[in-house]
Amino acid sequence: MKKKRYAAASIDHLIRCGITALAEETNKQKSSDPSRVQRLGDFELKKKLGKGGMGEVFLARQISLDRMVALKTLSKELAKKGDFVARFEREAKSMAKIDHPNVVKIYAVDSFKGIHFAAIEYIDGQSIQKWLDHLGRFSVADAVFVAIVSAEALKHAHSQNMVHRDIKPDNILVTQKGIVKVADFGLAKAMDEEVSMTQSGTGLGTPLYMAPEQARNAKHVDERVDIYALGATLYHLLTGKLPFLGNTALELILAKETGTYPTARSVRPEIAERLDLIIDKMMAKDPNHRYKNCDEVVRDLSALGLHGEALSFIDGAQPTGPGRGGVATPSVLGGTQGFRKTAGATQLPGSSTLGSMSDAAMGASRIWYVQFEDERGKTVVEKHSTGRLLKMLASGKITAKARAKVSADGTYYPLAQFPEFAKAVEDSLARKTVAIRKEDMQSL
């Protein structure tokens, strides 16, 4: 009888121990799952923002400083890899050294009850990719603006020996005030190295913007991979299309190895030839044929004078330039050399002397240098007012192929790139299309 009681007690003890162990294991699992906790150390989780290849992202409040942050957590799989965790923390600390108005800041890197995370600046806006999905493609002014600001941010990071490795529209963010911010510097590098060490070339994900040499060996790259990716991003913003396509990652990588893709200008003819050439140089297959650094990229893009002072698709975006704090340095906007948005006109390269004129004076009375082909096919240059040029477009004396500038030493740009003539050029092209269709109908 005693033996039976003892056996029953032993079984009961084992069951209780098993239940306790199971509960402890369950609690342990819950504690390592950020979606089941409300607080990670100094950070109070508010809501889940999304999930990426590295883990989940949460909106959180940093209690000690009473500020909102984005909390990026490592997935359970990555958290089990000690080498990756160490690399993640090391890269996050390196990223914290980057202090630039167009780079998303990192505030902390820590772990709490087995959950590893990084707290970064929360951006109250959305990615360039989401804007691209919405708009289809960007205006030339907006696309070049984003490229220049991103290149300035990259230039600063490169000076700190940081290579991003994952520049793409998803990693370029825009605040509600229209400030462009490059995100995920060190974190992208840590993830890239992990992928390259654990997967083959066919498992790298979809390297849509990745430089060919990075696809071959992600560990041994330099700042030129960021220049390539930024060039591919600029191409996508301008054309609404990707330069290379493939049904699989491997097909895409092989396509890039050819180095051949449709030029941006062939997809969108209004793109200036010089801008097209800059993109080609940024995306050269051989790194030695690319720009050596982002300073060169900023210089050449700024010299075009095609960028705006603010993103046109952001309501209430404040013009950003020297001393305004929205974009970094004066080199971004090249002083007065870019498009300057005003209530009634656009200031163009070489036109800084017109800055004090009233909007009315800069309207129909503005004098332009216009370059076009006459009836004999000869290229001529004449000076006309805005009103006169509009009449010439309407009468067909000049076509949409005409180019203009506002000063003798300025640069010629297609009429369609000036707000004063955009509608007239569109009407001219429409009339030409109708005329061609009539001729086709008459020939039937």
Q: Are 125 and 176 in contact (CB under 8 A)?
A: yes
Known catalytic membership, residue 276 = no
Q: Give 402's DSSP letter.
A: -
In the numeric block, the tokens 């430089």 are attached to 211
Which tokens hold the place of 214?
Answer: 């990075």
Alpha-carbon distance of 265 to 427, in angstroms, equals: 22
Strand duo 172-175 + 125-127: pairing: antiparallel
Strands of the 125-127 sheet, one edge to the other? 125-127, 172-175, 180-182
Distance from the first to the final alpha carbon of the chain: 111
Out of 166, 170, 276, 300, the active site residue is: 166
- Supply 116's token pair: 């590893």
The three-state secondary structure class of 327 is coil
Residue 180 phi, psi (nearest 5): -85, 135
Helix 294-304 to helix 273-282 angle (10° resolution) is 170
User: What span, in angstroms and rounded, lies between the C-alpha atoms of 123 and 259?
Assistant: 36
The closest of 243, 239, 334, 224 to 282, measured between CA atoms, is: 224
| DSSP 8-state class, residue 307 | -
Catalytic residues: 166
